Structure 1
Amino acid sequence: MARFLVLGGTAWLGREVAEQALRAGHDVTVLARGESGPPPAGAHVVTADRSHPEAYDQAGGEWDVVVDVARQPTHVRGAVAALGPRTGTWVLVSSCSVYAGHDQPGADESAPLLEPCEVDEDGFETYGARKVACEQHVLAALPDRALVARAGLIGGPGDVSDRTGYWPLRFAHPATTDGSVLVPDIPLTTQLVDARDLAAWLVGAGAQGATGVVNASGPTLPLAEHLATARRVAGHDGDVVAVPPQWLEDHGVAPWSGERSLPLWLPLPEYAGFMARDTSAAEALGLLTRPLEDTLRDVLEWELRQGPGRPRRAGLSPGDERELLATARHDLAP
């Protein structure tokens, strides 16, 4: 049994890490503000705000493993200064957004990084650069005791970003009476890691003292295969109306996320490698991922339990999709 400290531990991935560590029989403490939800049953709780210098005063003793999912550089810098000297292995969940370019499929961990950003803020514009700074703080303080996991697209039950749930939910409940669904027609790949698989690996690798910097994601699949899998788990038998990216752009549909968007669609060629990175180093450290079909089936069940009132962060509204489908059939008719 190892002593785990999860910095976070009440939101999606952090909570999953804490739960997986508990299931594996470890002694688990979570340090969090307590604003993202209740801690997992069985975990010890330290309530603290990491923006305050004394945040780690109550996290006394020594730790076999610390797992940090932070995206703010000052939080990471303060944590490694306070806890690093009494921690065996430090696991930082980073992101493949740290890379300066995303146009090369198969790129590994040696690819160039963004310039680090030390400013604590929210927003996607600086997310990757802030994660670079987080990595640098951990690796500088604990060069021989750190595992930096550059996670790819994380999905599964609990994903409020809509990147994994939108498609199976839309196929299960089309916006049109005839069951038609609008999809992007683009030779892009997807690469998804289930949060449960990522968390289980982080726990196991941390307990074993694994170190290094690795890309942590799942297998690369064509977007068309990903959508076909979502359609299959939803039991969809209506028409699939595939439209080219330029048509979507011309009609005000955005890629990836946000209002009036289509999740998983990204521009080419600049994002050809965004979801096609080399993950062999993580696999060598034991990363295993479940079939995409299982993840999408489970996220569909989770979406249906949430009901229709949850705010959406990506996708088309039913009204927008009906309008776009009518226009597409007119514009793209042979």
Structure 2
Amino acid sequence: MRVLVLGGTGYIGPHLVEHALARGHTVTLFNRGKTKPGLFPKVEKLIGDRSDPNGHEALKGRTWDVVYDLPTTNPQWIVNAAAVLKGKVAQYVFVSSTAAYKDFTRSFPDETHPTQEPAPISGPDAAAAPYGNKKVRCEQLVQDAFGAGATVVRPGLIVGPGDLTDRFTYWPVRIEKGGEILAPGTIDDPAQWIDVRDLTEWMVRLGESRTGGVFNAVGPRTVCGIGELLYGIKACFNNDARFTWVPTSFLTAQKVRSWVEMPVWSFTGASTVAFSTSVIEKALASGLTFRPLATTVRDALTWYHARPAAEQEKLRAGIAPEREREVLAAWHAQQSGAK
């Protein structure tokens, strides 16, 4: 295929480009040329600014089989791209988010679940609109412009090498250190994630098969419990790591939040439960596959240990070590008092 990637140098972009090249496709990158400009020296690179209505000049007069739009949360960027690419590409794959859904507290949303109100396309209200509302407007603009050739992918938590949010990486890093570990809720509380390579490799296959439509894109194959995740990670290490499971009610009283201090974890009624229980049968039917958890853990840790020391010392997600000790001490004190 002739593949155009809008962006391509951030988190998921390099993984997608590498796989597309490995599959023998011809790839063109379109971006401002400011982020990691040395990546993919043999790949064609076109320079432009998507925030500029005239910033897509480099794309004019060209055609591609499939376009991958990776970084967009700005509806005006879709308008600007569609003005040049409509009728010039067979398929437009847009990366949205499960944040597009209207009620995050409702469990098991599928692709027909109501979505947020779409954000305005431009103006101050557009800039101030929440992330999910912006994604919904972008989805609509892509579908309006490209019709049956539009593919909307709604990932949840994207994890693995290159993830700067640390929302998954916290757990392998913490478990690798060993000792007593604060574990949230119950082992059956829901958890979902997707390895960035499983996501991007599947997206390349969607382009190869010309598969349109809207897809939730998370894993594993069925919704698992947070315990399955944590014990699965623990199995990768031979150390003294041990979990102390602390009930949700106690964590709430201690102001320990799901997806923040306790990443990946959610629970029934939480404002994050939709992110952890998305229905993925449609994606599975279209070929989404998953690598072993141990592979994700190994590669995420390898990448983490190669990061600058300052980034390793202070993760962007997860409970701070001193706070973890405080909460565990408070929990043990309560348990001792109850006896």
TM-score of the superposed pair, with normalisation by structure 1: 0.91
SS, match of residue 219 in structure 2: coil
Regions of 4+ moved over 6 Å? none
**In structure 2, what is the Cα distance between the partners aligned to 1:78 and 1:269?**
39
SS, match of residue 215 in structure 1: strand
Counterpart residue number, 1:63: 64
- Give 1:223's match in structure 2, choosing from 213, 222, 226: 226
- Following superposition, the deviation at residue 267 of structure 1 comes to 4.8
- Following superposition, the deviation at residue 262 of structure 1 comes to 1.6
**In structure 2, what is the Cα distance between the partners aligned to 1:330 and 1:108?**
43
- Following superposition, the deviation at residue 229 of structure 1 comes to 1.1
- Following superposition, the deviation at residue 201 of structure 1 comes to 1.0
Q: Deviation per CA, 1:50-72, whole angstroms, max 9, x where unpaired?
A: 11112211124111110002111
Q: Deviation per CA, 1:34-91, whole angstroms, max 9, x where unpaired?
A: 3332333432112222111122111241111100021111111211221122111100
Counterpart residue number, 1:309: 310
| Counterpart amino acid of residue 329 in structure 1 | H
Counterpart residue number, 1:72: 74
**In structure 2, what is the Cα distance between the partners aligned to 1:315 and 1:241?**
16
Counterpart residue number, 1:298: 299
- Give 1:150's match in structure 2, choosing from 142, 151, 154: 154
SS, match of residue 290 in structure 2: coil
- Following superposition, the deviation at residue 104 of structure 1 comes to 4.2
**In structure 2, what is the Cα distance between the partners aligned to 1:151 and 1:33?**
25
- Give 1:91's match in structure 2, choosing from 79, 82, 93: 93
**In structure 2, what is the Cα distance between the partners aligned to 1:130 and 1:318?**
35
What is the RMSD computed on CA atoms of the aligned residues?
1.9
Which sits farther off after the overlay, 61-70 or 269-278?
269-278
Residue correspondences, number: 324
**In structure 2, what is the Cα distance between the partners aligned to 1:87 and 1:249?**
49
Contact 1:74-1:120 within 8 A present in 2 as well: no
| Counterpart amino acid of residue 69 in structure 2 | D
**In structure 2, what is the Cα distance between the partners aligned to 1:166 and 1:234?**
15
Counterpart residue number, 1:36: 35
Q: Percent identity?
A: 35
- Following superposition, the deviation at residue 294 of structure 1 comes to 1.8
| Counterpart amino acid of residue 225 in structure 1 | E
| Counterpart amino acid of residue 221 in structure 1 | C
| Counterpart amino acid of residue 101 in structure 1 | D
- Following superposition, the deviation at residue 102 of structure 1 comes to 3.3
**In structure 2, what is the Cα distance between the partners aligned to 1:120 and 1:305?**
38
Contact 1:156-1:298 within 8 A present in 2 as well: yes
**In structure 2, what is the Cα distance between the partners aligned to 1:47 and 1:247?**
52
User: Is 1:11 aligned with 2:10?
Assistant: yes
- Following superposition, the deviation at residue 282 of structure 1 comes to 1.4
Counterpart residue number, 2:259: 256
Counterpart residue number, 1:319: 322
- Give 2:170's match in structure 1, choosing from 161, 166, 169: 166
TM-score of the superposed pair, with normalisation by structure 2: 0.89
SS, match of residue 306 in structure 2: helix
Show the 5 A alignment for 1:148-227: 148-174=152-178, 179-186=179-186, 187-219=188-220, 220-227=223-230
User: Is 1:47 aligned with 2:47?
Assistant: yes
Counterpart residue number, 2:108: 106
Counterpart residue number, 2:138: 134
- Following superposition, the deviation at residue 236 of structure 1 comes to 3.8
**In structure 2, what is the Cα distance between the partners aligned to 1:82 and 1:181?**
53
SS, match of residue 324 in structure 1: helix
- Following superposition, the deviation at residue 273 of structure 1 comes to 3.7
| Counterpart amino acid of residue 204 in structure 2 | V
Contact 1:22-1:43 within 8 A present in 2 as well: no
- Following superposition, the deviation at residue 326 of structure 1 comes to 2.2
- Following superposition, the deviation at residue 231 of structure 1 comes to 1.6
**In structure 1, what is the Cα distance between the partners aligned to 2:218 and 2:41?**
28
**In structure 1, what is the Cα distance between the partners aligned to 2:92 and 2:263?**
33
Which sits farther off after the overlay, 227-236 or 205-214?
227-236
- Following superposition, the deviation at residue 210 of structure 1 comes to 1.1
| Counterpart amino acid of residue 42 in structure 1 | K
Contact 1:3-1:64 within 8 A present in 2 as well: yes
User: Is 1:275 aligned with 2:279?
Assistant: no
Contact 1:164-1:296 within 8 A present in 2 as well: no
